[in-house]
Structure 1
């Protein structure tokens, strides 16, 4: 019998059924990666990249199950950092938080430039025009966040619908132009390129942790969390594989076109109109994605600063709107450096995307490690966690030099923590503890 409502504090209602859970997972996983990665991996490994797509489509299932089980068993808005904190302690959880925070200033420009390139290909823009458009995609959400505005949930739902519709359009539009001749030579750059492509593909399969903060609102979470990730993993994998297959079968990649392969694919049947449909959708997708990144990153910075896990200035709030301008300023400065590096060709887009890809992969390694402890009481959880951990660790070295980025963050985090502890010891104050 339920206690009277007056006897308990208000609780979130369990209103999310299986179809809604599946839609949420699909929307969290499919994003800007589908606009960029199929073309880049095809250029990187040739037709053999389809092997990597097939491999990742299968191996992503235990990863999704691991995150789904963790969400069902330990629902929290802290996501993977919360799971890691439970399994390995406060500092390990803090480090995972830093992984996410230092991904945003690099991942944001990757998302924005990807969207701008889809318009640039149609209008034959040069670098300055493309990066000016990308800057608008970044600046507008940052300004919106200063005023405390966010994209409505209904708009995000429209984005999900548009993404799936465009992917289906691209698959159907490419069919008349597919040719088996485009699969030869099959492995022009050797077997190693296939593993390198698989590492880059990880960018497309992140997001399973994003829905964990809603797990308290799942109807029958222990059952529907697993069903939700299985259905969504199957749908996401099928869509990605189909788009990647058609990109290769129609040879819709190569040179500057690799970064806008989806547009090239659709234009083969629909012409410029199809290109504009994809371009407008790409801008919308990338804008919505960065709005979410900027909002989450700035608020994580604020929460970490408040808990004494980050420099105090990151916790600065706007006097009037009470929004985390310290975190937004950090994101903005980081974005400026990343955009400059891209504009002056210090790094390429495919090289830059590898940095946040590495931190996300490190985050998932932490989540899988947490799963081996927190899910060891169930055979499915234990097996999924270990399979995901082995696969992620196996792919990690193929990231190349970007694999050092999370390691550098870890070293800086340890140095900062040690300096803060020494400072607190000399001042006679105990180090701040995060709220429980």
Structure 2
């Protein structure tokens, strides 16, 4: 019996769209939602937490960039892990990757709902569901449409953030950021996990690797550019934020709007609310892209139910995976709080980076003739630092992150066992 060949994904993301995907997946939930959580843990010391999180992210991103050249496939780190370590480890890496972003979608979409509620009075959950529905429709329209929308939204959001950062820094009083370490080193450590999530996004580019034009050249450039572009913006915005309000007043669902209102008056609050809506919407769009591609890739490899691998013949996107993940986003938004989503999502997100680090070691020891277009500089230093960073971030996720992450992995073990038994 002749099988109908499944349509392949379309390479529609150039360097500009790939960077917009990474930056969009980074700055929305990161700065608009998590800056308040980080400030509540460390006070002004959250600036140091951002710097430490950047170092950890860079150490992890460099190996990811090399592997993305070697394996420019849908599913990113999952595809890399399965290709080198096989189905068993590939499944658990993909399951952790998928679960991490599902929980991350919670604080992104709930954050959007909180900002929209402040502007319109619409209940936060209703706003979250509205965003999810819109992102799902845009993604179903094709990766090129989604990438172009990402470009426009991110440029507008960044411009508004820059205006707030300049205004906040110009009016900053030194007494507003003293004491700098009110919770000591422990507070900075706790904030580092949260701020590490704020740098999450560079791996989204690799997850869409099968849709990136000239991946060996553009994937590593997009990954590294994503981190460099957001670092300066984060530090400037975080400084303006903690200088505007005490940490205790930044724990609501719209912390930057409250800070901008303090610095620039009611117009500033409105400006920052609009900026937050744009960038958290871009993040939700990026997270939907990555989760749908992970589940699509796993289904294509027969590790998840087959319908998730269906690709639209017209738009060439995994439409079933997009629809299913959109529905899961709505469930998470309705039942999970921002702190809980950050801790569980953080644990799983960090875990998924451990697998590609092992993969890089294995690939290099095999000494394949297929050289990557990009190679990690000082790999004997960078890779151990990346492992240490992951270990530290595991500790920072606490018992809540460990318990929630373990439950998700246990559910994955059950699903994998059932799938293997009936296949």
TM-score normalised by L of structure 2: 0.81
Residue 394 of structure 1, CA deviation:
1.8
Rounded to whole Å, the distance in 2 between the matches of 1:409 and 1:135 is 23
- Call closer, same or farther: CA 1:386–1:217 in 2, change over 3 Å: farther
SS of 2:123's equivalent in the other structure is: helix
Residues 1:217 and 2:206 aligned together: no
Query: Do the aligned partners of 1:30 and 1:205 also contact (CA within 8 Å) in 2?
Result: yes
Residue 199 of structure 1, CA deviation:
0.9
Query: Do the aligned partners of 2:26 and 2:201 also contact (CA within 8 Å) in 1?
Result: yes
Structure with max Cα Rg: 1
Residues 1:164 and 2:158 aligned together: yes
Q: What is the aligned length?
A: 404
Rounded to whole Å, the distance in 2 between the matches of 1:120 and 1:255 is 18
Residues 1:186 and 2:167 aligned together: no
Rounded to whole Å, the distance in 2 between the matches of 1:109 and 1:49 is 22
Query: Do the aligned partners of 1:247 and 1:253 also contact (CA within 8 Å) in 2?
Result: no
Rounded to whole Å, the distance in 2 between the matches of 1:211 and 1:317 is 20
What pairs with 1:283-294 in structure 2 (closer than 5 Å)? 283-294=277-288
- Call closer, same or farther: CA 1:300–1:337 in 2, change over 3 Å: same
Rounded to whole Å, the distance in 2 between the matches of 1:103 and 1:226 is 22
Query: Do the aligned partners of 2:61 and 2:223 also contact (CA within 8 Å) in 1?
Result: yes
Residue 248 of structure 1, CA deviation:
1.6
Partner of 1:5: none
- Call closer, same or farther: CA 1:299–1:53 in 2, change over 3 Å: closer
Query: Do the aligned partners of 1:252 and 1:258 also contact (CA within 8 Å) in 2?
Result: no
Rounded to whole Å, the distance in 1 between the matches of 2:310 and 2:73 is 25
Point out where structure 1 has 5 or more consecutive residues left out of the alignment: 1-11, 343-347, 424-430, 432-436
Partner of 2:298: 304
TM-score normalised by L of structure 1: 0.79
Residue 301 of structure 1, CA deviation:
3.1
**RMSD over aligned Cα atoms:** 3.7
Partner of 1:363: 352
Partner of 2:410: 411
Residues 1:57 and 2:54 aligned together: yes
- Call closer, same or farther: CA 1:30–1:373 in 2, change over 3 Å: farther
Query: Do the aligned partners of 2:36 and 2:247 also contact (CA within 8 Å) in 1?
Result: yes
Query: Do the aligned partners of 1:64 and 1:208 also contact (CA within 8 Å) in 2?
Result: yes
Partner of 1:121: 118
Rounded to whole Å, the distance in 2 between the matches of 1:20 and 1:298 is 18
Point out where structure 2 has 5 or more consecutive residues left out of the alignment: 1-9, 368-374
Residues 1:254 and 2:255 aligned together: no
Partner of 2:93: 96
Residue 229 of structure 1, CA deviation:
4.7
